[in-house]
């Protein structure tokens, strides 16, 4: 009898532990109207996870963040939780299909245009807060979610206050934080509004805001970025400063020289759509460099290099793309490895012609000359793998895992896929 009781207690205890560790408990079997009714009845807020089947960050959150006990404890206590698949696939089950109409309505009504998007509704079913994008930890995600409860941090309430004319600097800081979490296109506007309230633009916080919110030559921060290199570099680094200036100069002064119909659509949040179907086939880069040098002098070379690589990427001219980077990495320049890492990642993503990979490996090899950055090894490994050099690719991906000094499930899964010869993301 004692043995039976002991086994029963073990089973019961294991069951309780399993229940505690399930993480967020998402409602099943209820439609949107019923979800709101339940929230009102239980006096809880609603947490809605808007995801798609193709969204990698959505899968990351579902696999690594939502199941954590502390996340489950917080969300299950305070929210009615619902996960809504926004896209449709042939593999959708009966439950997902039952949400098709509600999912479409929610997506259209709340203008969901990025994934994952997390919507927070009060007890009356009124949207009060938005978070867009994955979080890198359970604590970070919980901290962002807590802002949904306080009118002083609820994004929709703050945005409404701004529209009513509130320009208090302390208020604007709260608005900027909420807009950043919501990945709202208006963030740049809020930042530039705040910067106009500041007497000293060279503080660390203001330089970070300038880096995030400066998108045009006429923005208040452009003058600071251009004329205070020492102060700006000390906060965001030379590489980031050059990248921001290069993007702005490219958009407003170089791109019109590359296209017969230089139309740019600014989408907000730094997103820009270029018209690339009328690019000029013959470009005089020396002439462009001379024009840029009149105003930008010592940063002319990196600005023109940025422009050339953008241009060649658009044309899928990987030969000239490689030539530019081989010249850059072999001529005694001060090499910006973050820049090389970005270009190597773009090359791997967009180039499918194997004949260009040998040259790409030459210039990208600077990423692994010094064992300083784990993810440089990841990028170089992806390049080698797509080039067909499987064993070398695995070696460099293992080096990435070693340099991280902590287990990384994503890296380990990639190594296994490489061993099996499978496609990697």
Least Cα distance to 76 among 50, 51, 99, 46 occurs for: 46
Model confidence at 10, pLDDT cuts 50, 70, 90, reads very low
Distance CA 294, CA 289 (A): 9
Nearest 5 degrees, angle CA 300-CA 302-CA 307? Answer: 95
User: If you average pLDDT over residues 88-104, what whole number do you get?
Assistant: 95
Q: Does residue 127 sit in helix, strand or coil?
A: strand
- Enter the pTM of the model: 0.79
On the question of pLDDT at 93 being above 90, the answer is yes
On the question of pLDDT at 271 being above 70, the answer is no
Q: What is the pLDDT of residue 85?
A: 96
On the question of pLDDT at 2 being above 80, the answer is no
Q: What is the pLDDT of residue 410?
A: 86
- Whether the bond into 106 is cis, omega within 30 of 0: no
Cβ neighbours of 191 (radius 10 Å): 27
On the question of pLDDT at 78 being above 50, the answer is yes
- For residue 337, the Cα-to-chain-centroid distance in whole angstroms is 20
- Whether the bond into 116 is cis, omega within 30 of 0: yes
Tell me where in the chain the CATH 1.25.40.10 domain(s) lie. 316-425
Model confidence at 333, pLDDT cuts 50, 70, 90, reads confident
Model confidence at 268, pLDDT cuts 50, 70, 90, reads low
On the question of pLDDT at 19 being above 50, the answer is no
DSSP 8-state class, residue 222: H
Q: Which position has the token pair 């979080």?
A: 135
Residue 119 pairs in a beta bridge with 48, 130
On the question of pLDDT at 14 being above 70, the answer is no
Q: Does residue 79 sit in helix, strand or coil?
A: strand
- Return all residues near 404 (Cβ < 8 A) that are at least 6 apart: 374, 411
Q: What is the pLDDT of residue 386?
A: 96
Identify the burial level of 353 via C-beta atoms within 10 angstroms of its C-beta, where 0-12 means exposed, 13-18 middle and 19 or more buried: exposed
User: If you average pLDDT over residues 363-386, what whole number do you get?
Assistant: 93
Distance CA 279, CA 290 (A): 21
Model confidence at 343, pLDDT cuts 50, 70, 90, reads very high
Q: Does residue 168 sit in helix, strand or coil?
A: coil
Model confidence at 135, pLDDT cuts 50, 70, 90, reads very high
Share of the chain above pLDDT 70, in %: 93
Q: What is the pLDDT of residue 8?
A: 38
Per residue in 204-224, pLDDT (tens digit) is 999 999 999 999 999 999 999
User: If you average pLDDT over residues 336-347, what whole number do you get?
Assistant: 94
Q: What is the pLDDT of residue 278?
A: 82
User: If you average pLDDT over residues 7-12, what whole number do you get?
Assistant: 38
Q: What is the pLDDT of residue 334?
A: 84
Q: What is the pLDDT of residue 270?
A: 58
Contact yes or no for 157/151 (Cβ under 8 A)? yes
Per residue in 284-299, pLDDT (tens digit) is 999 999 999 999 888 8
- For residue 115, the Cα-to-chain-centroid distance in whole angstroms is 10
Model confidence at 1, pLDDT cuts 50, 70, 90, reads very low
Least Cα distance to 327 among 311, 304, 349 occurs for: 304
On the question of pLDDT at 314 being above 60, the answer is yes
**Least confident stretch, 4-13, 139-148, 250-259, 371-380:** 4-13
Instruction: Tell me the helices (H) and strands (E) count for the chain, helix number first.
Output: 23, 6
Tell me where in the chain the CATH 3.40.30.10 domain(s) lie. 24-149
Q: Which homologous superfamily is 316-425 in?
A: Tetratricopeptide repeat domain (1.25.40.10)
User: If you average pLDDT over residues 74-85, what whole number do you get?
Assistant: 97
Q: Are strands 271-274 and 264-268 parallel, antiparallel or unpaired?
A: antiparallel
- For residue 192, the Cα-to-chain-centroid distance in whole angstroms is 21
Q: What is the pLDDT of residue 16?
A: 39
Pick the CATH number of 24-149 from 2.40.50.90, 3.40.30.10, 3.40.50.2300, 3.40.50.150: 3.40.30.10
User: What distance, in Å, lies between the first and last C-alpha atoms of the chain?
Assistant: 55
Contact yes or no for 214/221 (Cβ under 8 A)? yes
Angle (deg, nearest 10), helices 337-350 and 238-249: 50
On the question of pLDDT at 372 being above 90, the answer is no
């Amino acid at each position: 009898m004692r043995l039976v009781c002991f086994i029963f207690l073990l089973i019961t205890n294991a069951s309780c532990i399993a229940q505690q560790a399930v993480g967020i408990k998402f409602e099943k079997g209820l439609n949107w109207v019923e979800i709101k009714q339940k929230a009102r009845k239980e006096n809880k807020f609603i947490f809605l996870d808007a995801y798609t089947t193709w969204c990698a960050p959505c899968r990351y959150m579902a696999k690594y963040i939502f199941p954590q006990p502390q996340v489950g404890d917080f969300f299950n206590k305070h929210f009615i939780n619902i996960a809504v698949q926004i896209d449709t696939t042939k593999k959708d089950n009966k439950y997902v299909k039952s949400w098709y109409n509600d999912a479409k309505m929610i997506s259209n009504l709340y203008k969901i245009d990025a994934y994952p998007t997390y919507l927070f509704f009060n007890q009356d079913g009124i949207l009060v807060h938005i978070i867009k994008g994955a979080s890198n930890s359970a604590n970070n995600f919980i901290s962002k979610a807590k802002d949904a409860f306080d009118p002083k941090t609820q994004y929709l309430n703050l945005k409404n206050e701004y529209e009513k004319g509130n320009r208090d600097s302390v208020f604007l800081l709260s608005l900027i934080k909420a807009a950043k979490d919501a990945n709202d296109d208006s963030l740049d506007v809020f930042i530039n509004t705040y910067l106009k309230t500041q007497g000293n633009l060279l503080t660390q916080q203001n330089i970070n805001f300038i880096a995030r919110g400066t998108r045009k030559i006429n923005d208040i921060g452009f003058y600071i970025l251009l004329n205070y290199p020492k102060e700006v570099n000390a906060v965001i680094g030379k590489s980031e400063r050059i990248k921001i200036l290069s993007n702005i100069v490219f958009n407003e002064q170089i791109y019109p020289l590359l296209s017969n119909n230089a139309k740019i659509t600014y989408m907000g949040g730094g997103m820009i759509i270029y018209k690339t179907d009328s690019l000029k086939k013959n470009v005089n880069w020396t002439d462009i460099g001379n024009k840029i040098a009149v105003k930008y002098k010592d940063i002319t070379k990196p600005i023109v290099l940025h422009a050339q690589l953008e241009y060649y990427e658009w044309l899928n001219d990987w030969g000239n793309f490689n030539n530019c980077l081989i010249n850059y990495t072999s001529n005694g320049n001060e090499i910006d490895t973050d820049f090389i890492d970005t270009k190597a990642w773009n090359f791997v993503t967009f180039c499918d012609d194997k004949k260009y990979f040998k040259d790409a490996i030459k210039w990208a090899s600077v990423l692994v000359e010094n064992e300083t950055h784990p993810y440089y090894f990841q990028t170089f490994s992806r390049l080698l793998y797509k080039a067909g050099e499987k064993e070398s690719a695995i070696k460099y991906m293992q080096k990435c895992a070693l340099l991280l000094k902590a287990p990384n499930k994503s890296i380990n899964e990639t190594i296994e896929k490489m061993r099996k010869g499978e496609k990697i993301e």
